[in-house]
Structure 1
Amino acid sequence: MKRLAIFLYGLASYAVFFATFLYAMAFVGNLPLVPRTIDGEPLLPFANALVIDVLLLTVFAVQHSVMARPAFKALWTRIIPAAAERSTYVLFSSLALIALFHFWQPLGGMVWGIENRSGRLLLNAGFGFGWALVLYSTFLINHFDLFGLRQVWLQLLGRPYTALPFKTPGAYKLVRHPLYLGWFFAFWCTPEMSATHLLFALATSAYILLAIVFEEHDLMRAHPEYRGYRQQVPMLLPRLRGKRKAQELEEAA
């Protein structure tokens, strides 16, 4: 029963994540599919709204970073089953985003507005490409392990968890962080950049760049070969020679 309960918990956490992911697309893209989006009529004075939005972004960043640290995981798994650790991280991240969606306050003001039809199509295409790249990248590195499903499935079968080997499939031969590159497209490609959207894009971009520093430090400790990969393949902007060098590095490993 305990194994089944952990498995169902993992499924429920994933379901919350996936619903949150879909909502996030509509939220950031101002799609009329959800009750609240990133833009709208300001309901509070600018300073009050700004403080609330910054606090919401900070809560998400702290939760997302602290719970991802190896030291926190070691402490956390004394309280919860190790198989449920990733699912719990995914659930808490989703809840932090849900809180952000619910309490987010529009600031008003417009930074840019593209009226040209071709320009709008190009930016909307970039927005869609970004979300597709994010999802595609998760499957390249094992989507089900990243979001905790593999862990709870293995414990349901009574099998020990084995860490994934270091690999550089697909887009990872071009850049080290295609998933984060996708977020940049998703957050910055918009034909109408409001002050609210700009705050969100700037804060999340700064967080991503900081997160890469910590993530790569952990990856170099867990996978010694990552250091060579890091020297050969660019972080976010691809170059023509990156794919060939990364492929040679993978074949040599």
Structure 2
Amino acid sequence: MSLSSVNLLVLVPLLAGSLLVGASALTTVYARRLGEAGGRALTFVLRNVLGLPLVFAGAIWAWQSPSPWLFAPNPPLAVAGWALVVAGALVFVVGHVHIGTPAGRPTLRDALVRRGLYAYVRHPIYAGSIALILGLAVLHPTATFISAAAVGTAWLLIQARIEERDLIQRLPEYRNYMQQVPRFVPHLGRQSRRAPGPRSQEGLAPGGTGETQ
């Protein structure tokens, strides 16, 4: 794959949106400087009003952009691709259900708890998103979309680390949780040790029980 086969313009909204969503993870900084209400509002705007729409726009543009196919689709790959899409979407939705409505608006008062998918991995929403992205890349393996998928996956890996740094500042217990529960891939054959786990930018319960990232 050469750069000439990739529509690099589609990466502009993807990268811009990723940077804005990444900036939304600085909950502690915003809350300390702007107050809880101001920090929460800024987080919401950066993530949901500006960042995510740009990411989705870039992804759609990449999908529709004319570009050479890197390999020919075939039935086994189609089955694998759809399996990743369905599994990823299911994990993504269930992760949001466990979190509830505060997913994009964390505060300094968010509580700690762990249940469901969050007992197995710290970032089920991001894990589901990565699986979904990989599945779509298998189903539509054009040079441009594969490049966009690589950018999207890299962003999620970085975003998780940014959020965890913020969580450590807000929730001292998060360090122990990080040692007990893996980031994206669960320990095979056993559930992570039961312990309080914090909810993060993926979503936090205000002042009560919450979900881990």
TM-score by length of 1: 0.63
Aligned equivalents of 1:130 and 1:72: distance in 2? 32
Q: Is the 8 A contact 1:133 1:182 kept in 2?
A: yes
Which of 235, 238, 251 aligns to 2:183? It is 235
Is 2:92 the counterpart of 1:146? no
Opposite residue 224 of structure 1, the aligned amino acid is P
Opposite residue 161 of structure 2, the aligned amino acid is V
What is residue 12 of structure 2 aligned with on the other side?
55
Which of 111, 118, 127 aligns to 2:70? It is 111
What is residue 139 of structure 2 aligned with on the other side?
191
Shift of 1:86: 4.3
Shift of 1:99: 4.6
Opposite residue 115 of structure 1, the aligned amino acid is N
Q: Percent identity?
A: 19
Alpha carbon RMSD of aligned pairs, Å?
Answer: 3.1
Q: Is the 8 A contact 1:57 1:100 kept in 2?
A: yes
Aligned equivalents of 2:5 and 2:73: distance in 1? 29
- 2:9 match: secondary structure: helix
Unpaired segments of 5 or more residues in structure 2?
A: 198-213
Deviations 1:187-212 (A, max 9, x none): 11133311122101111111111112
- Greater Cα offset, 48-57 or 180-189: 48-57
Deviations 1:177-231 (A, max 9, x none): 1111101111111333111221011111111111122111111111111111111
Shift of 1:146: 1.2
Opposite residue 130 of structure 1, the aligned amino acid is G
Aligned equivalents of 1:75 and 1:48: distance in 2? 46
Higher relative contact order (CA 8 A, sep 6+): 2
What is residue 67 of structure 1 aligned with on the other side?
24
Which of 150, 153, 158 aligns to 1:202? It is 150
Q: Is the 8 A contact 2:67 2:144 kept in 1?
A: yes
Aligned equivalents of 1:197 and 1:126: distance in 2? 16
Q: Is the 8 A contact 2:14 2:59 kept in 1?
A: no
Shift of 1:95: 3.6
Opposite residue 182 of structure 2, the aligned amino acid is P
Which of 174, 178, 183 aligns to 2:124? It is 178
Opposite residue 133 of structure 2, the aligned amino acid is F
1:125-144 correspondence runs (5 A): 125-142=83-100, 144=101
Q: Is the 8 A contact 1:111 1:194 kept in 2?
A: yes
Unpaired segments of 5 or more residues in structure 1?
A: 1-45, 152-160
Aligned equivalents of 1:50 and 1:76: distance in 2? 40
